[in-house]
Structure 1
Amino acid sequence: MPTAILSDDLQQFIGHEPEPTGWMTIDQSRINAFADCTGDHQFIHVDPEAARKTPFGSTIAHGFLTLSLLSHFAEQLQIGIDGMRMAVNYGLDRVRFINPVRVNQRVRVRARVMDIVEKAPGQFQVKLEMTMEIQGEEKPALIAEWLLMQFTGD
């Protein structure tokens, strides 16, 4: 159940940071499945032997794989306008892939509410800063400014 953000006082939630999500292991089978879905079979993602000879020392997740996981993690963050009946992806303002995620590393997401704007009655644009952390790493995998459109009412 989403954390209720009361629609009569939206600005008080700017800067709100919910608890981080749980950790997820990025294993080779997930990387391979993403390669199959996108057709991106570059060796750095799918050939462990060849990838060992690179500066990364192993295969790495596609940047777009890590970005796509924001949808999975968003459910755990539980950010929602009071009375929300649905939310849809509205796009991204900024994305930076900062640190590669090596096979079998664990990632999680921290979020911060950057802005909430009522675009139409019962229709709210929520801007979140999403930071995907890599367990044991100082630098995050990515930082993205993600826009969601949340709908309330019937």
Structure 2
Amino acid sequence: MENTMTTTHVATLADLTALEGQSLGTSSWIEIPQERIGTFADATDDHQWIHIDPERAKAESPFGGPIAHGYLTLSLIIPMWDEVLTVDSVTMAVNYGLNKVRFTNPVPAGGRVRLNATLKKAEELPKGGVQVTVDAQIELDGAERPAVVAEAVYRFFE
């Protein structure tokens, strides 16, 4: 897959409503080496052999080798999201949650992922700010199916 990053840049939160239904862009690729998988296993106490034992995973796993944790891949949405949308007037942004997440394709150790995001909805919040709902696909380099599909919700404040 190509290595082209595209970013949407707007001046104010009010500009977001005009972007509903449109692609926001695609992040750059992030590699997930075995070392990063091991660090994530240590941080989360998830040491299942399909993630941390390359020899056993190669011999016994249906994936042909070690794979990244689904939650590791999902957690990378944050640095990738920062590359996809820039709003000049924002002073604070928070992750509000996820409405739906599916891990649709395992990421092999050494695989590369990137975010492709579409703005599903932008709505004003009662006490100020805007909540955006984003259809997010974390693409896996060289694969037809994404590694993760999610509906992510963020709140922006000026």
TM exceeding 0.5:
yes
Aligned length: 151
Conserved in 2, the CA contact under 8 Å of 1:5 and 1:13?
no
Aligned pair partner of 2:132 in 114, 126, 143:
126
State the Cα distance separating 1:29 from its structure 2 match: 0.6
Aligned match of 1:11: 17
TM-score by length of 1: 0.91
* Letter of the structure 2 residue corresponding to residue 59 of structure 1: P
Conserved in 2, the CA contact under 8 Å of 1:96 and 1:142?
yes
* Ranges in structure 1 where 5+ consecutive residues have no aligned partner: none
TM-score by length of 2: 0.89
Aligned match of 2:58: 52
Task: Give the superposed CA RMSD.
Answer: 1.7
* Letter of the structure 1 residue corresponding to residue 31 of structure 2: T
**Is it true that 1:62 corresponds to 2:69 in the alignment?**
yes
**Is it true that 1:90 corresponds to 2:104 in the alignment?**
no
Distance in 2, matches of 1:110 and 1:9, equals 20
1:99-118 deviation per Cα after TM superposition (whole angstroms, max 9, x unaligned) = 00001111111000000110
* Letter of the structure 2 residue corresponding to residue 151 of structure 1: F
Distance in 1, matches of 2:13 and 2:113, equals 32
**Is it true that 1:99 corresponds to 2:105 in the alignment?**
yes
State the Cα distance separating 1:93 from its structure 2 match: 0.4
| Identity percentage of aligned residues | 42
Distance in 1, matches of 2:8 and 2:105, equals 30
Runs of 4+ in structure 1 displaced over 4 angstroms? none
Conserved in 2, the CA contact under 8 Å of 1:31 and 1:45?
yes
- The alpha-carbon distance between structure 1 residues 29 and 16, as it changes in their structure 2 partners (threshold 3 A), is same
Aligned match of 1:72: 79
* Letter of the structure 2 residue corresponding to residue 14 of structure 1: E
